[in-house]
Amino acid sequence: MVKIINHIYIAVKRCKTYAFTVFVTYCISCLIGIMMSQNGNNFALSYRDKIVGQSVKTDKASINYLKGNNFSAALHDFKGNLLFGAVPQTLMGFSIIIPYFTVLRQGWVGGIVSVDSEHKSRFRNFKSTIYYFFVLLLQYIPYSLSVGAGIKCGIDFYNDNKLNGWMIWKYRIHKTSLIDLGYIYILVVPLFFIASCFEFLSAWNI
């Protein structure tokens, strides 16, 4: 167990720069979304209503939550964040640039939902404010780690093969970065689970 923890620590240390750039991108785009929605920007508010409306109809986490099945909602949210959010963006990380665009959108969406269905601020009281920001933080940390690890794989792959040109048969995959990616996921899986449980089971969700 200690050995695994040590490997996870080393893996995080190796990709921390890329994870940090992803986290900063999340924060900046989220702040822009917050400013737009809190100031009544029509585009932000209409897009907020659109995605929340679709989520209520199609997203299993939202559907279960509205039915009072909070733990089932947390499980579906966990699965969605991990399998349909983190994994695809990690794979896109091999392109180095593309995930930053998806992160920008994801962070912005996280910002525009800082108002409710009546377009009233979620910052109306202390509990609601802390809950909102803590949910975002718990999600952005594992997303940043997983996407950052994917970007590191892409950069290592490029550096190892940039002299090969179009000679694809000579390409090689950087083994260490892939191993680091595996250890990063050992960490982010429970972090995503904790984030989903807090979002749907917390008493602060008012």
Mean pLDDT of the chain: 91
Q: What is the mean pLDDT of residues 91-106?
A: 94
Q: Give residue-wise pLDDT tens across range 12-44.
A: 999 999 999 999 999 999 999 999 999 999 999
Which domain does 172 fall in, by range?
2-115+126-201
Q: Let me know if residue 58 belongs to a domain.
A: yes
Q: Is residue 43 part of a domain?
A: yes
Measured between alpha carbons, how far is residue 190 from residues 113, 142, 184, 185, 196 in Å?
Answer: 25, 9, 11, 9, 10
pLDDT at residue 27 in the model? 97
Q: Taking residues 155-168, what's their average pLDDT?
A: 70
Q: Which region among 42-46, 104-108, 124-128 has the lowest average model confidence (pLDDT)?
A: 124-128
Q: Is residue 49 part of a domain?
A: yes
Residue 206 belongs to some domain of the structure: no
Q: What is the pTM of this model?
A: 0.92
Q: Is residue 120 part of a domain?
A: no
The per-residue pLDDT for 23 is 98
Nearest in space to 18 (alpha carbons), one of 131, 153, 116: 153
Number of folded domains that form the chain: 1
Does residue 33 fall inside a structural domain?
yes
